[in-house]
Amino acid sequence: MTDVLAATTLPTATDAAPGSAHTVDTHIATPLTDARAQLAEAIGLLGYETGLHQMLATPRRELTVAVPLRLDSGESRLYVGHRVQHNFSRGPAKGGLRYAPNVNLDEVRALAMWMTWKCALLDVPYGGAKGGLAIDPREHSMAELERVTRRYTSEILPIIGPERDIPAPDIGTDEQTMAWIMDTYSVNSGYTVPGIVTGKPISLGGSQGRASATSRGVTHIALAALRHAGLDPARSTAAVQGFGKVGADAARFLSEAGVTVTAVSDQYGAVLNVAGLDIEALTDHVRATGTVVGFAGAEALDGAELLIQDVDLLVPAAVEGVLHDGNAPDVLASVIVEGANGPTTPAADRILRERGVLVVPDILANAGGVIVSYFEWVQANQAYWWRADEVESRLEERMLSAWQHVLGYAQARGLSLRTAATALAVERVAEAHRLRGLYP
């Protein structure tokens, strides 16, 4: 376990400025270089000194663990896991846990940093964290996933807790994963601790509305952004990249709001119906086959082509870096609402802004999950549960309030929504640093 304060080479504010000769080439960029470039731009805008920049750019604590797994066959394998806690200044660390074969420490660092800004922007009393295990869950049985989850939890046990760091589901994990983490932590504590995770089953203290919270938040912001752009949602079209935890429900909620969803994709391919996809039938098809490919109510589409479809709204809801300088000039959507974390590189951001495309950043657009995770944590601590309509109305209020705040900040200063959102969040975290002081 390392507790680091400032032992890294950081980009300067000028390096991240639009048009800078030192801007990172998107072909070699990573989520971490993107996250640091966004921070550097905000630091330059706010005029903060180098020492504070270093503290905000560097995780407070990182833990990398070896996670052995006994397979059902009796063989053993070893996987590498991480937990990064980026900031504690505004409260305990909070962030998801992803299982994916390409998980690496730099990716987890970037996601933890974005989580810090997301919590601050939505005024949730958390700092950012993230966890990951470099494993492909599709290659393992439920019994193997339970064993590897419990072992990973045991390895990171010293740094997590309801007042320290609260994991949640992410790519490759779900409410069952959270149940295993909760049980492992509780067994080691000697009593049940429902507040150790969020996104757990309702029967174990989960919150109504948590499973679809990120998608609902994306939808609230997408509808507000369309109206801001002068588009009537009932006459608008949309394409959704990713038909998983976020994208599937976002497509459903958009369709229910009157938006015509014409294209969706997953890791295997994409489908298109210019008259509008039947999202309910598509969902049934995915449940039966595991993919959108082959859906009878649409024609096949190359996955990369989805991002440049002629639609009003594009929702990238899959992975990082899918919009870059190679495809940003061809994007036809007027509004982009980021359902995924970091789907747009800094170079793509500049291109899209020059072209007049409204990009709503991830730390605002997909913050519904952390808001309802916060609600779940509050309910667990009080042992008092809210109704679904209470959760959803409070979610909508928080999302639209943040939208108006970011929009007003951006318009008053002539900034993009991403720069405005990051600057607002960084300002709040920096203020917490200032008020708490530096110990000793």
Catalytic residues: 130
Burial of 288 (C-beta count, 10 Å sphere; 0-12/13-18/19+): exposed
Q: Which contiguous run of DSSP H or E holds residue 313?
A: strand 313-316
Token code pair at residue 260:
């015509």
Pairing of strands 313-316, 269-272: unpaired
Residue 146 contacts residue 72 (beta carbons within 8 Å): no
Measuring CA to CA, which residue among 424, 383, 368 is closest to residue 199?
368
Q: Which two tokens stand for residue 355?
A: 């072209």
Tell me how far CA of residue 418 lies from CA of 72, 228, 348, 425, in angstroms.
46, 16, 12, 11
Question: Minimal CA–CA distance to 62: which of 113, 9, 1?
Answer: 1
Beta strand ranges found along 20-146 (DSSP E): 61-70, 76-85, 93-99, 127-133
Q: At what angle do helices 31-46 and 346-354 cross, to 10 degrees?
A: 60
- Output the six-digit token pair for 54: 């270093």
First-to-last C-alpha distance (Å) of the chain: 21
| Distance from C-alpha of 16 to C-alpha of 13, rounded to nearest angstrom | 6
**C-beta separation of 76 from 148 below 8 A:** no
Q: Is 79 helix (H, G, I), strand (E, B) or coil?
A: strand
Give the total residue count for the chain: 440
Rounded CA gap, 339 and 363, in Å? 9
Q: Is 176 helix (H, G, I), strand (E, B) or coil?
A: helix
Give me the amino acid identity at 222: A
Give the residue among 247, 225, 230, 254 at the shortest CA–CA distance from 421. 225
Q: Which two tokens stand for residue 344?
A: 């747009």
